[in-house]
């Protein structure tokens, strides 16, 4: 049987009772704390170390109203170390791609072109040959189909100068397959742009499969698949906090490094046939980086 010192046992009892009683009696946290401390840890014999002082502060913070917490979060400087892409951040990519590709003779393919939230991007490519592709028919859709089988809807000689999508990749159940299909449909020297979500509300469930960092997008559109990185990054930093119905030890804890959007812009530099993910060298996928050393 495991032996526990009497002092340690008392401390554990205090810790457990603080959570069970303090969280349900927010109006009298300090009183509960003092009462239990006096009962279990007599001041003449024991002292409360920093862990319990920290716990008390967390309990006091939990007593704040949601409006107070919201105000604290808005004003708080949280860590946001990932840079936005210079040209294809959320606020810039539409005009950038239009300026670069809205020219006679350019072939443009948009994945997820159906007008769902009111945005129709066809006018950005009025001088080019624009094709709208979507899973369902509707406004601004020229070709209906499954992006996982993209190449089957076009002639083998059809190649595009730009394939792009916004807020679509999170809804692909096998996005790595879509990346391969995009590679097949791009001309050598053609570009792919993808914007999707890194931190965002669950939406259009049950088809809300993935959320991507910029590095996750690069893992999809990697060197082994024939893509040269032009730029990547994340846009629109967010402040987050664990909700009141989270596990007790997480409630009210701030969450740094959140971003609404992630973007990648790549150029196809060669054709790749008979592609297999299993055959890729790790450095072709992670750009010669490594998981942070311990």
Q: Which residues of 180-218 are buried (b: 16+ CB within 10 A; e: fewer)?
A: bbbbbbbeeebbbbbbbbbbbeeeeeeeeeeebbbebbb
Q: Which residue has the tokens 């490594």?
A: 290
Residues 170 and 30 in one domain: no
Alpha-carbon distance of 264 to 84, in angstroms, equals 10
Can you tell me whether residue 30 is helix, strand or coil?
helix
C-alpha 257/C-alpha 30 separation (Å) is: 33
- Report pTM: 0.74
**pLDDT at residue number 95:** 98
Q: Which residues contact 268 (CB under 8 A, 6 or more apart)?
A: 183, 186, 187, 188, 189, 190, 191, 192, 226, 227, 228
Q: pLDDT band at 162, cuts 50/70/90?
A: very high
| Lowest mean pLDDT, pick from 93-97, 117-121, 144-148 | 117-121
For residue 80, is it within any domain?
Answer: no
Give pLDDT, residue 42: 42
Please give the pLDDT value at position 45: 36
Domain tally for the chain?
Answer: 2
Q: Rounded mean pLDDT of 63-73?
A: 61
User: Listing from the earlier edge strand, what are the strands of the sheet with 129-134?
Assistant: 143-144, 129-134, 107-111, 160-166, 186-197, 254-268, 227-241
138 lies in the same domain as 13 = no
User: Residue 111 domain-assigned?
Assistant: yes
Residues 125 and 210 in one domain: yes
- Regarding whether 121 and 45 lie in a shared domain, the answer is no
Please, where are the H alpha helices in the chain? Answer: 6-17, 29-40, 50-62, 66-75, 93-101, 175-185, 214-220, 282-286
135 and 237 assigned to the same domain: yes
What is the per-residue pLDDT for 15? 52
Cβ(55)–Cβ(18) below 8 Å: yes
Residue 81 within a domain: no
Are 186 and 158 contacting, i.e. CB atoms less than 8 angstroms apart? no
- 58/247 Cα distance (integer angstroms): 13
Residue after which a domain boundary falls, among 63, 83, 101: 63
144/243 same-domain check: yes
Whether residues 191 and 273 fall in one domain: yes
End-to-end Cα separation, the chain, in angstroms: 35
Asked if the structure places residue 88 within a domain, the reply is no
Predicted pLDDT at 28? 53
Domain annotation covers residue 42: yes
Range of the domain at 26: 6-63
Q: Are 161 and 103 a contacting pair, CB within 8 Å?
A: no
Query: Is residue 144 over pLDDT 90?
Result: yes
DSSP assignments along 197-240, one per residue? ESS----STTS------HHHHHHHS-GGGTEEEEEEEEEEEEEE
Helix (H, G, I), strand (E, B) or coil at 59: helix
pLDDT at 251: 87
What pLDDT is stored for residue 53 in this prediction?
53
User: Is 269 contained in some domain?
Assistant: yes
Residue 205, domain member (yes or no): yes
């Amino acid at each position: 049987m495991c032996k526990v010192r009497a002092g340690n046992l008392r401390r554990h009892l205090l810790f457990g009772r603080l959570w069970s009683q303090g969280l349900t009696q927010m109006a009298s946290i300090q009183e509960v704390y003092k009462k239990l401390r006096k009962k279990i840890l007599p001041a003449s014999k024991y002292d409360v170390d920093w862990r319990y002082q920290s716990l008390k502060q967390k309990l006091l913070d939990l007593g704040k109203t949601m409006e107070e917490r919201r105000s604290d979060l808005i004003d708080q400087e949280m860590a946001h170390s990932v840079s936005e892409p210079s040209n294809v951040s959320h606020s810039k990519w539409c005009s950038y791609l239009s300026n670069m590709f809205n020219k006679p003779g350019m072939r443009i393919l948009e994945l997820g072109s159906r007008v769902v939230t009111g945005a129709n991007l066809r006018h950005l490519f009025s001088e080019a040959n624009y094709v709208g592709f979507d899973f369902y028919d509707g406004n601004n859709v020229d070709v209906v189909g499954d992006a996982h089988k993209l190449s089957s809807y076009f002639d083998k000689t059809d190649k595009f100068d730009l394939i792009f999508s916004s807020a679509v990749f999170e809804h692909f159940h096998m996005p790595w397959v879509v990346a391969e299909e995009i590679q097949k449909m791009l001309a050598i020297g053609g570009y792919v742009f993808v914007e999707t979500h890194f931190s965002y509300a669950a939406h259009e469930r049950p088809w809300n499969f993935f959320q991507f960092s910029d590095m996750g997008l690069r893992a999809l559109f990697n060197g082994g698949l024939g893509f040269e990185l032009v730029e990547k990054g994340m846009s629109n930093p967010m402040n987050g906090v664990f909700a009141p119905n989270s596990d007790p030890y997480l409630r009210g804890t701030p969450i740094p490094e959140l971003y609404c959007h992630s973007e990648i812009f790549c150029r196809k530099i060669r054709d790749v046939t008979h592609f297999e993910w299993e055959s890729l060298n790790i450095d072709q996928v992670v750009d010669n980086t490594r998981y942070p050393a311990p």
